[in-house]
Homo-oligomer: A and B are copies of this chain.
Amino acid sequence: MIGESNHHIIRQVMGSNRHVNTNTESVDNYLKAILVLSGPDERAVASTALAQRLGVAPASVTNMLQKLAAAAKPYVEYEKHRGVRLAPEGKRRALEILRHHRLIETFLYEILDYPIEEVHEEAERLEHFISERFEERIAAKLGHPKFDPHGHCIPAMDGKMPRQASIPLSSVDRDGRFVVDSVSDQNSALLKRLQASGVAPGAPVQVVRRSPGEFALRAGGSTRALILPRDLADAVRIRSGD
């Protein structure tokens, strides 16, 4: 739980209820998408980008944004044709969901021995439905972890998150030794391959070849180099060796 109170899934029950219902899974997903797409410097996000990420028609996005902006406590700041930003309440909720997501991933990986490439999908569903108590209990069980199994930072209860100091493999400008900072959770097949090759958060790696289209790296004690096309190389973030 982050910030204020968490009402969970309160579905509209009476047709006579005049209040707009903004506590659904769908809303959560819009807020999460805005959080991610607006990046660390919190740029305004375009409707199209949201539509594409959410797999939804642009008209649906406009519709939802108007609702989110018109709520008593607005979730977003939205001006027509200008894109959208998270309002404080929206940011609070988005970070809460992100915290849920990453805690659940950690939990599935550490306690339930999930293979890493399966944690994301399960967390994606459950993140909307766990209670504050569940959140608190798994955090305690895990020793209040700061990172999930992909190396992503878990937002603290006060919603603060340190800025990332790592760079994508695809933008590295020299060969040499690095440490894996994080791996993307978006492509589970790739994730499985990376795991199998020893490319996991904290692992030392050596970048052995770079070209416009491909990046090659060797992890820990691995003998064979792993060759990643540019688009997949985006999925690995590295930092200089500690």
Interface residues of A (CB under 8 A from B): 8-9, 108, 111-114, 118, 121-122, 125-126, 129-131, 133-134, 137-138, 141
| B-side contacts of A134, CB under 8 Å | 108, 112, 122
Could you tell me the distance between the alpha carbons of A134 and B125 in the complex, rounded to whole angstroms?
12
Q: How far is the CA of A233 from the CA of B124 in the complex (A)?
A: 42
Chain B positions within 8 Å of A130 at CB level: 122, 126
The minimal Cβ–Cβ distance linking A59 to chain B, given in whole angstroms, is 13
Which of B9, B108, B111 interacts with A125 by CB under 8 Å?
B9
Stoichiometry, copies per complex: 2
Q: Which residues of B contact A141 (CB under 8 A)?
A: 111-112
Contact A129 to B125, CB < 8 A, known contacts A112-B138, A138-B112: yes
Chain B residues with CB under 8 Å of A125's CB are 8-9, 129, 131
Q: How far is the CA of A113 from the CA of B138 in the complex (A)?
A: 10
**24 A-B contacts (beta carbon < 8 Å):** A8-B125, A9-B125, A108-B134, A111-B111, A111-B141, A112-B134, A112-B137, A112-B138, A112-B141, A113-B137, A114-B133, A114-B137, A118-B133, A121-B131, A122-B130, A122-B131, A122-B133, A122-B134, A125-B129, A125-B131, A126-B126, A126-B129, A126-B130, A129-B129
Q: Which residues from B are CB-within-8-Å of A9?
A: 125
Query: Which residues from chain B contact A118 at a C-beta distance below 8 Å?
Result: 133
CB closest chain-B residue, reference A8: B125
Residues of B within 8 A of A114 (CB): 133, 137
